[in-house]
Structure 1
Amino acid sequence: MRIAASRICRLTLAFGLAAGLAAPAFAVGDENDETSPPPKTETTTKCADGKVWDKDKKECVDAKKQSFNDDDLYKFAREFAYAGQYENAINILNLAKNQSDPRILNYLGYANRKAGRFELGMSYYRKALQADENYILARSYMGQAMVEQGDVQGAKVQLVEIRDRGGENTWAYRALLQSLNGYRTY
């Protein structure tokens, strides 16, 4: 009996470790992790007037005059948004070809909200969730906005949605929970 119990314990531990290794893991600043602030690049450390860093040309360029893809534009916009350059973020996001991309819509919401256009920001969060109801980062930012406006019940609904969509162990969940507990987040 003891041998069987010990064997079950080892199998359970091995399964748990294997399951943990199979889950995606993101290091802080990993470019695949949408939830951590992007690393600062030349776009926000060397460029001015809303210009972005072109790695190939090794200079600051006007994004409107270049042919950056939506992923590049998204990364530039995130960096601008986290640097507090909300208008630059919005201008870059408006250049994206796919204006229905939930990532683009979410950051249009974030940048507009942070720039003081709360209702416009909320409308973008709603559009992001219409495009992908499982996009928990949009739910987190929307919930944080609700907390800022005093809609604690609405924020709690978003927290439950994040949890129920498998996001309980994510930054999106923790950030909204912290916001509900009175901590300032993003």
Structure 2
Amino acid sequence: MAMALLSGQALASGGGSDDEAPRKPNCPKGQVWDSKTHKCTMQTSKATSDEDRTDYAYRLAKDGRYEEALSLLNTLKNPDTAKALNYRGYATRKLGRTDEGIGYYLKSVALDPKYAQVREYLGEAYVIKGRVDLAKEQLATIETLCSRTCEEYEDLAAAIAAAPKT
């Protein structure tokens, strides 16, 4: 991830390539980026939206800060959105709790069956469990959602290709 310094604050992209999203600071532990005020605020601030909390939790998880991501997701007013459940699944899977992660992914899919990213992560979890057959089902669904050229399809296809052959 590209990093830059602005007034002594480390900056990271908000996801995707550097050209796709504006740069946002990595906030100190216990804080979250607020897109309205354009600054870090306390996680306990009621002014910070669930959407900002959810997005920041994913950034934390992508940075390997899984426990912090889960703690932030625990502060959501509505934790039962497809996106929040997907990111909760991602963080728990990365902590080695794959079955728990699959449970969150399945809840996310039930809320939004056309959400390609959750299907990618669910497929990756199935690969970890040795269920390449189920991962391939997710891959086929992703293909119908966004084609073979979308990032979700390419990433899951690579995970399946790298899976141990049984």
Category of TM-score, reference length = shorter chain: 0.7 to 0.9
Task: Give the alignment of 1:5-154 within 5 angstroms.
Answer: 28-29=17-18, 30-31=20-21, 41-43=25-27, 47-48=28-29, 50-53=30-33, 56=37, 58=39, 61-154=41-134
Q: CA deviation at 1:27?
A: 6.5
Could you tell me whether the CA contact under 8 Å between 2:116 and 2:146 is conserved in 1? no
Aligned-residue CA RMSD in angstroms?
A: 2.4
What's the TM-score once normalised by structure 1's chain length? 0.70
Computing the radius of gyration from Cα coordinates, the structure with the larger value is 1
Q: CA deviation at 1:39?
A: 5.6
Q: CA deviation at 1:156?
A: 0.5
- The size of the alignment, in residue pairs, is 147
Structure 1, gaps ≥5 residues long: 1-25, 32-37
What's the TM-score once normalised by structure 2's chain length? 0.78
Identical-residue share of aligned pairs (%): 34
Structure 2, gaps ≥5 residues long: 1-14
Give the whole-Å Cα distance in 2 for the aligned partners of 1:167 and 1:73: 30
Which aligned segments of 4 or more residues in structure 1 are displaced greater than 6 angstroms? none
Q: How far does the alpha carbon of each residue in 1:68-93 deviate from its partner, in whole angstroms, 9 at most, with x for none?
A: 10111012101100110001111111
Could you tell me whether the CA contact under 8 Å between 2:53 and 2:73 is conserved in 1? yes
Give the whole-Å Cα distance in 1 for the aligned partners of 2:145 and 2:25: 33
